[in-house]
Amino acid sequence: MSQHTVGADEEATIELTPSIISCYPMSAMAPAESEIECQVLTAMVGQGARIRVTGKINGSRCSTVNGRIYGNLFSAQIAIPEDVEFGDEFTFDVELPGNDCDDESTPIPCTPAVTVSNRRWSQETARRGDLLTLTGDVAGLRTGMDVEIVIYEYDTDELHDELIALPARIDDGSFEVSWEFDYVEETDRIHTEEQLSEAGRNYSPPEFFFAVRVGGVEFGSEQPEPRLEFQDWIELALRDGANLPIPGQAYRITTADGNVIEGELDDQGLAVVEDIPPGPYGVEYPDLIDEVEFDEEPDEESSESSTDEQSNDQSEDEAPPAEEDDLDLDDEDEAEAEDVSDDDEEDEDDDSEFPLDELPLDDLPTGDLPSGSPPQNPLG
């Protein structure tokens, strides 16, 4: 980039020269019947400057795109003819008619039309950690050519998520690659049948497919088949309040797709349930639920009959209350009864304050007491 130095009090006229900084295809090769993205980067050409991009096969024009440049960047899609062969080269020319600029891209090799067929997973369902083999046939690519096997998570809205691109090599028109399956998302984010039914949709487990990428161009992603289905597993462990296993209990699992799986725990209170639809699930232990409900809410009929029997027993066993006349005492008898009661209460109070079996015997005074003297209370 050129530099210009001008004094603070000086005036100067600087001429800015438009230029094409770079032009290059965004793919490493140009397969037949595909479209190649061609990108052009410019400087000082002005907003909305006119541009013309012409694609060529071995120097002969195959396609032309006209447009305008904004932000000094322009991108065009150039169609590759169906009759290209190995050894052909693709280039494109760039012209800026209003800026008197032109340039030519570097060449990339052409290949015949690439078709992918017989794509296969080594198994139809997979769990985390399963080692899978992906195979398929490819026509139009030479033996020894490097490709990528791109694995996607399938989306019903066709917004497929790319998970990983595995390097592979074409060998006699086919490829084979291994992949250890893993599901890194949280399964509790998967929508259940109950949730989806409110929107008029149905539950489906996560599914995956793969395509072949050659020089930045993909083949097979427009037909996302066959699809691998993700299956999950859960482990149940039931223990009591003392952390001891509760063996042999029946369990009931409601899976994300709305189905119910039933079984029994082993003698260690454990169970492993495999190949269940991934997503939120619920677990119940019916026998334990019945016991808890019985303890907390006894049967109403038995409760009522028990209450009735209890009231009947009381009515039979208890004597009727005495008449008031039978309880009348004369005044002297009442006074004697009160005196006796008061004396008894005082004796009880004395005994409770000085229990004999708790007296400190070692501290009792020794020696002769005067005759006729009452014994001394050692506690004062």
Tens digit of pLDDT at every position of the chain (380 positions): 556 676 777 777 777 789 999 999 999 889 898 899 999 999 999 999 999 999 999 999 999 999 999 999 999 999 999 999 889 999 999 999 989 899 999 999 998 888 999 999 999 999 999 999 999 999 988 899 999 999 999 998 888 999 999 999 999 999 999 999 999 899 999 999 999 998 899 999 999 999 999 888 889 888 899 999 999 999 999 999 999 999 999 999 999 999 999 999 999 999 999 999 999 999 999 998 655 443 334 444 433 433 343 433 443 444 444 444 444 444 445 444 455 445 555 455 544 454 545 545 444 444 444 444 444 544 44
Q: Is the torsion defined by CA of 136, 141, 143, 146 positive or negative?
A: negative
- Report how far apart, in Å, the C-alpha atoms of 78 and of each of 94, 106, 113, 148 are: 13, 15, 16, 23
User: Cα angle at 217 between 211 and 222, to 5 degrees?
Assistant: 45
Are 17 and 100 contacting, i.e. CB atoms less than 8 angstroms apart? no
- Specify the pLDDT at position 204: 92
Tokens at 278, concatenated: 């991934």
Are 144 and 91 contacting, i.e. CB atoms less than 8 angstroms apart? no
Using a cut of 0.75, tell me whether the model's pTM lies above it: no
- Specify the pLDDT at position 344: 52
Helices and strands in the chain: count of H runs, count of E runs: 4, 23
Report which of 72, 116, 334 is spatially closest to residue 211, judged by C-alpha positions. 116
- Specify the pLDDT at position 14: 73
Are 90 and 56 contacting, i.e. CB atoms less than 8 angstroms apart? yes
- Specify the pLDDT at position 2: 58
Q: Which residue has the tokens 């409770």?
A: 352
CA distance 325 to 142: 125
- 45 CB-side CA count, 13 A: 26
- Report how far apart, in Å, the C-alpha atoms of 186 and of each of 49, 131, 158, 255, 279 are: 49, 21, 21, 16, 9
